[in-house]
Structure 1
Amino acid sequence: MLRSRPVLLLLRAVLVLAALWLLVLIGFALPGELSDGTPDAAVRLPVQLVLSLVLLSVLAVIVCIWRLLSLISRDRLFSDASRRWVDAIVWSLAIGWSLLAGFALVVTAIIFFTPEIRDPGIPMLLFGVVVLASLPLLLMIVMRGLLRQATGYRAELDEVI
Structure 2
Amino acid sequence: MGRLAMLALRAVLVMLAAGTAFVQAVMVPLFAIDLEDLDPGYAYLRIPLLALTVLGVMAVQVTLVCVWRLVTMVKRGTVFSDAAFRYVDVVIGAVVAAALLVFALGVLLAPGEAVPPGMVLLIGGAGVGVLGVALIVFALRMLLARAVARDVEATHLQAELDEVI
TM tier relative to shorter chain: 0.7 to 0.9
CA shift in 2, pair 1:7/1:117, >3 Å: closer
**1:96-111 to 2 correspondence within 5 Å?**
96-108=98-110, 110=111
1:23 and 1:12 mapped to 2: Cα distance? 16
CA change 1:107–1:28 in 2 (3 A) is same
State how far apart, in whole Å, the 2-side matches of 1:50 and 1:118 are. 17
* TM-aligned CA deviation for residue 43 of structure 1: 2.3
Partners in 2 of 1:125 and 1:133 — Cα distance?
12
The amino acid of 1:56's aligned partner reads: M
After superposition, give the CA deviation of every residue in 1:59-100 in whole Å (9 maximum; x if it has no partner). Answer: 100000000011001101100111111111111111222122
Equivalent of residue 159 in structure 1, options 147, 151, 156:
156
Percent of paired sites with the same residue: 27
Aligned to 2:15: 17
Shift of 1:118: 6.6
Query: Does 1:66 find its partner at 2:63?
Result: no
CA gap of 1:100–1:118, structure 2 versus 1, over 3 A, is: closer
Task: Write the distance in 2 (CA, Å) between the matches of 1:141 and 1:151.
Answer: 15
Runs of 4+, deviation exceeding 2 Å:
37-43, 116-121
Query: Unaligned 5+ residue runs, structure 2?
Result: 159-165
Q: Structure 1 residues 86, 117: closer, same or farther in 2, change over 3 A? A: closer
Query: 2:90 & 2:130 partners in 1: Cα distance?
Result: 17
* Selected match of 2:143 from 137, 140, 146: 146
Structure 1 unaligned residues grouped into runs of 5+? none
TM-score (norm 1): 0.87
Look at both structures and tell me which one has the larger radius of gyration over its CA atoms: 2
Residues in 2 aligned to 1:133 and 1:118: alpha-carbon distance in whole angstroms: 21
Contact between 2:35 and 2:46, CA under 8 Å: does it hold in 1?
no
Q: 1:107 to 1:117 in 2, by over 3 A?
A: closer
For residues 68-147 of structure 1, the aligned pairs below 5 Å read 68-108=70-110, 110=111, 114=112, 116-117=113-114, 119-147=116-144
